[in-house]
Amino acid sequence: MSETTSEIEVRSAGAYASIQDSGRRGLRRVGVPWSGVLDPAWMKIANALVGNLATAPVIEHFDGGLVLKVLHGRVRVAVAGQADVDISGEQGVQRVVCWRSVRLDAGETLRIRGLRAGRLVLVAVGGLQVAETLGSASTYARAGIGRPLAAGDRLSALFSEASDFLLAEPPIDGDAVIRVVAGPQTGHFADDALAQLCAAPFAITEQADRMGIRLHGPQLQHRSDAHKDIISDATVPGSMQVPGSGQPIVLLADAQTAGGYPKIATVISADLGRLANRRAGETLRFQVVDVDAAEHAARSHAEMLAQLIASIRRLPGDGSVDLEALYNNGLISGPISGFDTEE
Amino acid sequence: MAPESNVASGVRERMRVVDAGDQAFTIVLGERIAPEVVATVTALDRQIAALHQTGTLPGLIETVPTFCSLTVIYDPLQASRRQLLAEIARLPPADTHVASSASRRWRLPVCYEGDCGPDLEATAAALGMSVQALIAQHQQSEYCVYMLGFLPGFPFMGDVPSALQLPRRSEPRLRVPPGSVAIAGALTAIYPSESPGGWHLLGQCAVPLFDPERPKPSLLQAGDRVCFAAVDAAEHTRLQQAAKARALDPAAFLDAEVAS
């Protein structure tokens, strides 16, 4: 299979964009978090759509505004998320749906205009070339490992001739509850704190980034002032720490690896990506499950992902997509076309 | 649902296991910051590493030693908490003496002069001693690296002599320069990179604590021993320049393995 090297320029990084893959392992003991995409399932789908290995690096982007221009060569991209995306070039501006791959030619520009829901978008680029540091291409600027993408950055990709692919039924990000396992320091809280965590909705605040999400809801009472701190112990992605304010913070991929606030619970891995995709102001509810149920949920989540990836189908080479099916699946709106020209 | 449960049998009688979701659990081995507790954590950590090398712990991702506990992180698609704990519970009692005698000992150069120690005078005043006495006492002890965290490569070391123990600054600094050697409470540390921080800054160490380009990026690991040796401003500048030129071999600051 012949491959050609293409070059992409970041024209705008929008709100925030960084290169992430499945993250680096084995260094939490020296204070280096995993990093990596906030929703690994989306990474695997987006990479499958462009023919990459499941854990190849992708561009993770928050809140829209990312603009990528192909300087030379051709690239194949796929966007995971619920975004309005368009491609502009000599043919004018065309809208493109998420959850499919599409080829961009030299001079064409991909723009993530805005998000219809959620705050997270992953852009997979076929054959994206990113150097690894300590076993991963994931950006973690606090350790001097890369930096967020900025206008003017250039990325190269190996393009190979292939079909385009479509995921007809994207993963559903419903309002389902977020499940947690109690512990490790539930005993530092008042007897009813865990019940309180599950009884009322919690809102996502503006203080949310790759390190963590501050929530706002009923105050979770510590057992006493002496229980507001612990001797620092290890955190994991999903750890829900509660500082003296009584308002929980859920730690994510870039969070520090140890902390001195007691942790009332841990969000299960199957639900953490959904939580990370919630917007400020949205509310969510928690439900406590035991470790066996949480491990079972992780396996179910992996099975559902495998089924989704198996359902990815090839788009006909001439572009004559089964548009009726696409339309019925709600993947596109308005005038029916794989691409539709903007008015 | 039992967020805390005791693992039955043998050496695990002192061991309490707490849940940390579906991909981690934490084995609690003590309730205070002390060298003997860290020695227990280090010993169990090494035992688990050895077991992992034999292939007995499939699905184990990594372990994280901290002051009083060891967190075991695993892939729930390949292992379960139940399976891993069953294997770990079979471990014989660890010899903590072996663990501490296998520690590495570092002698790290610290410049306590001029701008390197912006809090020297205020700290000495707060402690009711002279700057010279503060510097001398900080260098007198051999410190144990209790754990790393907060920042990549950031070592929590102790214990500092009781005469030097004081709470953190009431006003944390927004920018602590990289290389700052600092104290707070019973602990001393070196900031590997610039960050906000509330510790008292006594000096500067030119040896890079964290370098992502090194195969083992962190200079220190939990259980290491660290001594500080004062250097003057000229020597500090020379070391800084060597570090910048990537011509500073960290091994030069490593004493021989500590004999038991």
Please report, for the domain that includes residue A198, its CATH number.
2.40.100.10
**A267 and A329 co-located in one domain:** no
| Res A306 pLDDT > 60 | yes
pLDDT band at A64 (very low <50, low <70, confident <90, very high): very high
**B130 and B9 co-located in one domain:** no
Check CB contact of B61 with chain A, cutoff 8 Å.
yes
Task: Provide the residue range defining the domain that includes B79.
Answer: 4-101
| Res B12 pLDDT > 90 | no
CA distance B195 to chain A (A): 9
Chain B residues with CB inside 8 Å of A291's CB? 19, 21-22, 25, 81
CA–CA separation, A164 and A51 (whole Å) = 9
**B85 and B164 co-located in one domain:** no
Could you report the per-residue pLDDT of A162-215, keeping only the tens digit for each? 999 999 999 877 778 999 999 999 999 999 999 999 999 999 999 999 999 999
**A100 and A185 co-located in one domain:** no
Cβ atoms of B160 and B231 closer than 8 Å: no
Chain A residues with CB inside 8 Å of B65's CB? 29
Only one residue has tokens 């939990």, namely B222
Check CB contact of B250 with chain A, cutoff 8 Å.
no
* E strand or H helix at A293: helix A291-310
Cβ of B69 within 8 Å of Cβ of A298? The answer is no
**A218 and A278 co-located in one domain:** yes
CB pairs under 8 A between A and B: 165
ipTM: 0.91
| Res A83 pLDDT > 80 | yes
Could you report the per-residue pLDDT of A133-161, keeping only the tens digit for each? 999 999 998 888 999 999 999 999 999 99
Task: Provide the residue range defining the domain that includes A255.
Answer: 178-302
| Res A326 pLDDT > 90 | no
pLDDT band at B73 (very low <50, low <70, confident <90, very high): very high
- The partner residue sitting opposite B63, judged by closest CB among A29, A239, A288, is A29
Cβ of A30 within 8 Å of Cβ of B217? The answer is yes
Could you report the per-residue pLDDT of A210-227, keeping only the tens digit for each? 999 999 999 999 999 999
Cβ of B26 within 8 Å of Cβ of A184? The answer is yes
Query: For A60-92, b where at least 16 C-beta lie within 10 A, e where not — what string?
Result: bbbbbbbbbbbeebbbbbbbbbbbbbbbbbeee
Higher-confidence residue of B98 and A21: namely A21
**A191 and A48 co-located in one domain:** no
**A99 and A34 co-located in one domain:** yes
B214-231 mean pLDDT: 94
**B32 and B138 co-located in one domain:** no
Check CB contact of B167 with chain A, cutoff 8 Å.
no
Cβ atoms of A246 and A221 closer than 8 Å: yes
Instruction: Flag the least confident range among A49-63, A160-174, A272-286.
Output: A160-174
| CA nearest to A266 within chain B | B21
Higher-confidence residue of B101 and A211: namely A211
Cβ atoms of A253 and A37 closer than 8 Å: yes
Q: How far is CA B245 from CA B106, B116, B208, B239, B242, in A?
A: 22, 21, 12, 10, 5
Check CB contact of B68 with chain A, cutoff 8 Å.
yes
- Whether B15 maps to a domain, the answer reads yes
**B163 and B239 co-located in one domain:** yes
**A186 and A321 co-located in one domain:** no
**A326 and A265 co-located in one domain:** no
pLDDT band at B259 (very low <50, low <70, confident <90, very high): very low
- Whether B260 maps to a domain, the answer reads no
**A75 and A184 co-located in one domain:** no
CATH of residue B137's domain is 2.40.100.10
| For chain B, percent of residues with pLDDT exceeding 70 | 90
Chain A residues with CB inside 8 Å of B21's CB? 180-181, 236, 238-239, 266-269, 291, 294
- Whether A78 maps to a domain, the answer reads yes
| pTM for the full predicted model | 0.91
Cβ of A236 within 8 Å of Cβ of B68? The answer is no
Cβ of B18 within 8 Å of Cβ of A183? The answer is yes
CA–CA separation, B24 and B241 (whole Å) = 42
- What spatial distance separates the first Cα and last Cα of chain A, rounded to whole Å? 39
**A17 and A162 co-located in one domain:** yes
Number of domains in chain B: 2
**A26 and A156 co-located in one domain:** yes
**A155 and A194 co-located in one domain:** no
Number of domains in chain A: 2
The mean of the pLDDT values for chain A is: 91
